[in-house]
A and B are shown apart, each in its own frame.
Chain A
């Protein structure tokens, strides 16, 4: 005994509704993911300036322009500069979002 025609219509509606909800969820997820990959221009500017300072002075120290370093100091500075470089790469991968309200 098959389902009543009323039940079949309900199932079809339910399937369409489910697809609509899944599509909406996927769309919302895409929007959220895109927002995460964006930084406000002001924040990006601030981060780049701070990173520039870390990089500049780290390089100055590594290059011995402020005096000779021990091997250990040079190693630690190298770690610092390497990680500053990673932050820079992450920043370069982000997209600046639209400016906030003035």
Chain B
């Protein structure tokens, strides 16, 4: 059975590596992008099952990536979990209104992130009918 593929979008290589170790240990295949442009390209070429998205990115920000997702019928149902070190007022509300499945501020407890990932995947696959 193909592994679930998660695209990790973060400009910090250490953060990408740490997430990669944790996600792979939990059976996920991990793809990477380090800025808004390469993230948008990866979405189109790889069509991941889920995106973990930082907001503070070079060449745009996480909201640019989310906007790109929602403009495409093919990509619009890919769940996005925002994981950001930014503390700008309104980011959380804006991300959730833009369709993020969850919003976390770094650092995040691994079990919370993994739970949110599983819940978002189940919801996107129609395995959950309402918010549990």
Please give the residue numbers on chain A whose beta carbons come within 8 Å of chain B beta carbons, in ascending order.
Answer: 41, 44-46, 48-49, 51-57, 59-60, 63, 65-66, 84, 88, 96
Please give the residue numbers on chain B whose beta carbons come within 8 Å of chain A beta carbons, in ascending order.
Answer: 12, 14-15, 18-19, 21-22, 25, 56, 85-89, 105-108, 110
A68 CB → nearest B CB, Å = 14
A63 CB → nearest B CB, Å = 8
A98 CB → nearest B CB, Å = 10
- Contact status A60-B21, CB under 8 Å: yes
Question: Residues of B contacting A84 with CB < 8 Å?
Answer: 107
Question: Residues of B contacting A65 with CB < 8 Å?
Answer: 21-22, 25
B8 CB → nearest A CB, Å = 12
CB-nearest residue of chain A to B55? A45
- Contact status A60-B85, CB under 8 Å: no
Q: Say whether, besides A59-B110, A96-B87, A96-B88, A48 and B22 are in contact (CB < 8 Å).
A: no
Interface SS, A side: helix
CB-nearest residue of chain A to B85? A48
Alpha-carbon distance between A56 and B21 when the two chains are bound, in angstroms: 9
Question: Residues of B contacting A60 with CB < 8 Å?
Answer: 18, 21-22
Alpha-carbon distance between A76 and B52 when the two chains are bound, in angstroms: 30
Alpha-carbon distance between A65 and B18 when the two chains are bound, in angstroms: 11
Alpha-carbon distance between A49 and B86 when the two chains are bound, in angstroms: 9
Question: Residues of A contacting B107 with CB < 8 Å?
Answer: 48, 51-52, 54-56, 84, 88
CB-nearest residue of chain A to B104? A52
Q: Say whether, besides A60-B21, A65-B25, A88-B107, A52 and B87 are in contact (CB < 8 Å).
A: no
CB-nearest residue of chain B to A55? B107
Alpha-carbon distance between A84 and B15 when the two chains are bound, in angstroms: 16
Q: Which of A46, A51, A52, A65 has the most chain B CB atoms closer than 10 A to its own CB?
A: A52
Alpha-carbon distance between A52 and B13 when the two chains are bound, in angstroms: 12
Partner of A45, one of B14, B19, B22, B56: B56
Alpha-carbon distance between A1 and B26 when the two chains are bound, in angstroms: 91
Q: Say whether, besides A65-B25, A84-B107, A88-B107, A52 and B86 are in contact (CB < 8 Å).
A: no
